[in-house]
Chain A
């Protein structure tokens, strides 16, 4: 499976002669005649620093990138001079801009770089031992953290699966999804640490959630996988993060959710802007995304019944007594509606309104007696 190049350099006389030449100071300087463009790039806004937006100039810029960059298939960066026939072909599989691109992707990357935080030091872990909470709430919170530890790594594995298949002309996207990979690894890390710092530990893995994760990882195309993961799954998780901040038993936990939320929102925004770009530039792919979301929504429906659901009820009601459970159900019922409502809102913003009437969630909402109520507000 390995590749070992086209030349045995140790048996190459030219190399020896060349080295002797250079050693004597005889430089050919062919690399000076690049034929590449000279541009003026500077930090437009010194407060923001020198960003990729400032580098969007001339042939180097993302605006100059065509839908199909014909020719480059190797490691030459966009705008560099390269030889089509001699380049080492890395066999990229995603070679259309619409396969991967998103509006604002450079901004998302720059934001990610400037907002990296550290789960080791940015959470006041020492405070946790002084923050009192009933054991049943700690157990429920440990279950919630187990779930988040379990699912967050999919948003690392999925970008990794596709990043190396992307043409190097799309470096802004590759960089952004590298930032997503570390964001999500950090999320898995922080929830694992929280579960283990609370004295309960990790609890049950969730088989139904795992089937969804498998479906995400095995998506046929990057865009289909992105629609499932960024738009639907991470969107749901974002709503859950917001909810979890609300029901967190301690200030330390609230801080944790505040930090993960800002990352997750960026990932969801990328997914929305990728879908929008895809539909704007290749509307013929709409049916393909519909079919992928038909299946994705079906997987998501199966997740509504789980240890997770009950853990959230216990946390929201602050206990397991009947009156706590009653209150918890009210709050979690609202969350369920909110998740669908916000998903529909994202579809709207991505220009995919027609998906809403086809959504598999509508039957569930109807069963909950809410289709024409709270959830439909998100549609309008």
Chain B
């Protein structure tokens, strides 16, 4: 697998000779040229700083990127001069519509601006008087255990595709790095939540494990994005809001709010990614819908699993709030699918049948 240099540079006298030539004052300087197409990027709004949108102008703009990248497979940044001899780094995602979303640059900026560190930001000491009885406290720890798993695996999903993506799409790659850290933070924050005070983790929810494996093993990047960003994170986002509602102390309230906020970026990217892709290639809706049919089945398994549903009922104070939460989550998810261009999924989705079981 290793890439071996075409020659052993260490035993190539020409290398040292070149070095000594430059050190002797014989410079080439042919690279010193000014560009006719240079831009003078400035912050469009001083308060917001210099954003990616501010620098995405002229030859540096993603609008200039072709649908199929054929001119560069190296790490040379978009808009740089490409001299001969640049190697291929073996990228497999070279088609803009496979990865692109128009809101990625803004979401990347948002992700950085809203970074938070669980070690400092969460008022952990408020968990000393958490306000729950023993069963409720255990239920929170069980749900925390699940959120750790979600954080662990959904950090792996962007990682799995990011390094295979052409550098032409650097805004998407940047955003995927934000996703990796957001997911890591989810795992970190909820692990700390479970362990704080007299704490501990719960049991692995097998159905969640199955669902996460489906998401992780999605065969293409668009399928992975649809199942993680749009499907799974739609539910994580509403779960965050629901936990914030159910919280009886400031720490849990903040954890729920931040979970929803971070999850919102996954969802926003996913919906716009699918929308951009389906505008460029409407025929892809068929395979995406087929994939979602099957992953939604996995979601049904998780939503109905005792290790998930029972603690959710406990922290919610009964079944009705959970049903309302599930109905809202499913409704909003279907709306997002429609907005992305996948059409009306209600009739074909296993989630519709699942909701009928709850009635």
Contacts and interface: CB of A to CB of B under 8 A. Distances in A.
A271 B318 CA distance: 50
B112 A118 contact: yes
Contacts of A77: 145, 148-149, 152, 187, 191, 201
B159 A121 contact: no
Contact of B170 (A43, A153, A301, A314): A153
Q: Give the interface residue-count category, chain B.
A: 35 or more
A325 B33 CA distance: 18
A295 B2 contact: yes
A168 B143 CA distance: 18
A113 interface: yes
Contacts of B188: 52, 109, 113, 175
Contact of B32 (A37, A136, A367): A136
Tell me whether chain B's interface is mostly helix, strand or loop, or mixed.
helix
Contact of B75 (A164, A182, A199, A213): A213
B153 interface: yes
Interface in B14-42: 15-16, 18-23, 25, 27-35, 37-42
B208 interface: yes
Given A23-B319, A310-B31, 4 more contacts: A157-B173, A178-B155, A178-B180, A302-B5
A226 to B, nearest CB: 14
Interface in A271-311: 292, 295, 297-299, 301-302, 304-305, 307, 309-311
Interface string A70-112: 0000111101111100111110000000000000000001100
Contact of A197 (B40, B213, B301): B40
A197 B41 contact: yes
Contact of B27 (A23, A36, A313): A313
29 contacts: A3-B217, A38-B198, A40-B199, A41-B195, A42-B124, A49-B118, A49-B120, A57-B195, A74-B213, A77-B145, A77-B148, A81-B204, A122-B49, A129-B42, A143-B31, A153-B167, A156-B162, A175-B155, A178-B184, A181-B162, A193-B55, A196-B39, A202-B60, A210-B75, A224-B2, A304-B15, A313-B27, A329-B25, A367-B20
Interface of B: 1-5, 8-10, 12, 15-16, 18-23, 25, 27-35, 37-43, 46, 48-52, 55, 57, 59-60, 74-77, 79-90, 109, 112-113, 115, 117-120, 122, 124-125, 135, 138, 142, 145, 148-149, 152-153, 155-160, 162-163, 167, 170, 173-174, 176-178, 180-181, 183-185, 187-188, 191-192, 195-206, 208-214, 216-219, 223, 291, 294-295, 297-298, 300-301, 304, 306-307, 309-311, 313-314, 318-319, 323, 350, 353-354, 357-358
Give the residue among A90, A140, A146, A182 with the most B Cβ atoms within 10 A: A182
Given A9-B297, A305-B15, A203 B206 contact: no
A360 B10 contact: yes
Nearest to B91: A157
Give the residue among B113, B145, B167, B204 with the most A Cβ atoms within 10 A: B204
Give the residue among A135, A210, A368 with the most B Cβ atoms within 10 A: A210
Contacts of B86: 205, 207, 210
Interface in A205-241: 205-207, 210-211, 213-215, 217-220, 224
Given A88-B212, A118-B49, A18 B170 contact: no
Contacts of B9: 298-299, 301-302
Contacts of A171: 152, 187, 191
A34 B201 contact: yes
Given A23-B319, A313-B22, A88 B209 contact: yes
A37 B149 CA distance: 18
Nearest to B216: A90
A109 B128 CA distance: 26
Given A4-B214, A120-B48, A304-B19, A125 B42 contact: yes
A219 B18 CA distance: 28
A18 B304 CA distance: 8
A18 B302 CA distance: 13
Contact of A304 (B1, B18, B119, B135): B18
Give the residue among A31, A80, A214 with the most B Cβ atoms within 10 A: A31
A170 to B, nearest CB: 10
A39 B199 CA distance: 5
A11 B25 CA distance: 78
A207 B5 CA distance: 13
Contact of A125 (B8, B29, B49): B49
Contacts of A25: 318-319
B210 A6 contact: yes
A174 interface: yes
Contacts of A309: 22
Interface stretch (A183-191, A257-265, A343-351, A372-380): A183-191
Contacts, number: 480
A153 B173 contact: yes
The 7 closest A-B pairs by CB, nearest first: A205-B76, A49-B119, A164-B156, A1-B219, A307-B31, A76-B204, A121-B49
Contacts of B40: 129, 197, 199
Given A50-B122, A120-B49, A30 B297 contact: no
Contacts of A60: 195, 200-201
A114 B120 CA distance: 8
Interface string A145-172: 0100111011011111101100010010
Contacts of B311: 31
Contacts of B120: 49, 114
B75 A2 contact: no
Nearest to B224: A2
A168 B152 contact: yes
Contact of B25 (A43, A184, A325, A367): A325
Contacts of A9: 297-298, 300-301, 304, 350, 354
B80 A202 contact: yes
B176 to A, nearest CB: 8
Contacts of A151: 75
Give the residue among A34, A178, A336 with the most B Cβ atoms within 10 A: A178
Contacts of B294: 2, 4-5
A22 B206 CA distance: 18
A200 B34 contact: yes
Contacts of A160: 158-160, 162-163, 176-177, 180
A7 interface: yes
Contact of A217 (B38, B89, B158): B89
